[in-house]
Amino acid sequence: MKTPRPDISALAAAAGVPGAKAAAAAPEAPARLLVKVCGMRDEAALAGVAALGPDFLGFIFAPKSPRFVGEVLAPELVRALPPTIWKVGVFVNETTANILAAAQRFGLAAVQLHGQESPAQCEELNEAGLLVLKAFSVGEAVDFDALLPYVPFCDYFLFDTKGAAPGGNGAVFNWNLLQSYNLPVPYFLAGGLGLEHAAELAALRLPGLAGVDLNSGFETAPGMKDANRLAQMLTQLRSGAPTL
């Protein structure tokens, strides 16, 4: 069954992003960075973090992750989150059938594919009505040409630090590697972001940068988000970002 897909245009306009698959290579910064808080698994923190008004909330469906949402969080709680927040399921090399089943059960509107998923799988999920974020691990260099086959089927890319685990490594990569980004898909910056990066991120000018992904840098333990630190981060990101 097809998962209803919210209209991305309002979100893109609010963030000053000219819409998915459009003009991401413009060098100017978005009006404000989109914020995705990832790795939610703690029922007690969920309402508090949602009340901060992140643009996206991520739930990890990779069984090996310490943030695996599995049976920990009741699907009703996720489905009941405000419709203004995009609910993102994070998957690593999962089958399309399993992803669609989880999307249906938890009311996910978006998927973050954090493994070696193919462009064809991105297309399948995109055609199923889901917003598609494709993650890529960044080491010493990025081969943007290798991302070209994904362009037609992804709403966002996400650049994360290469590490021992597929994601959630808590390490920062060299953001300057993205200075030469020239593809028409906006992206999220991820990997070890913490409160100490707030000022730098708010002032960051990178072509195609649409948002930031906050995960292990805002936890008291894996999956246990610190709403106070997140509140400080959102305030700094949103007040520090320039207006167009």
Q: For residue 9, what are its two tokens?
A: 């245009």
| 192 is a site residue for ligand LGQLAAA5 (CB under 6 A) | yes
What type of residue sits at position 235?
T
CB 126 within 8 A of CB 114: no
| 154 is a site residue for ligand LGQLAAA5 (CB under 6 A) | no
| 38 is a site residue for ligand LGQLAAA5 (CB under 6 A) | yes
Asked if 143 is an active-site residue, the reply is no
CB 134 within 8 A of CB 157: yes
Q: Shortest distance, CB of residue 73 to ligand LGQLAAA5, whole angstroms?
A: 14
Q: How many residues bind ligand LGQLAAA5 (CB under 6 A)?
A: 25
Structure letter (DSSP) for residue 129: T
Active site residue: 42, 55, 155, 160, which one? 160
- What CA–CA distance (Å, rounded) separates 118 from 126? 12
- What CA–CA distance (Å, rounded) separates 158 from 213? 8
Place of tokens 């599995």: 70
By Cβ distance, which residue is nearest to ligand LGQLAAA5? 167
Asked if 38 is an active-site residue, the reply is yes
**Residues involved in catalysis:** 38, 160
Residues that bind ligand LGQLAAA5 (CB under 6 A): 38-39, 58, 60, 62, 65, 67, 90, 92, 114, 158, 160, 166-170, 190-193, 213, 215-217
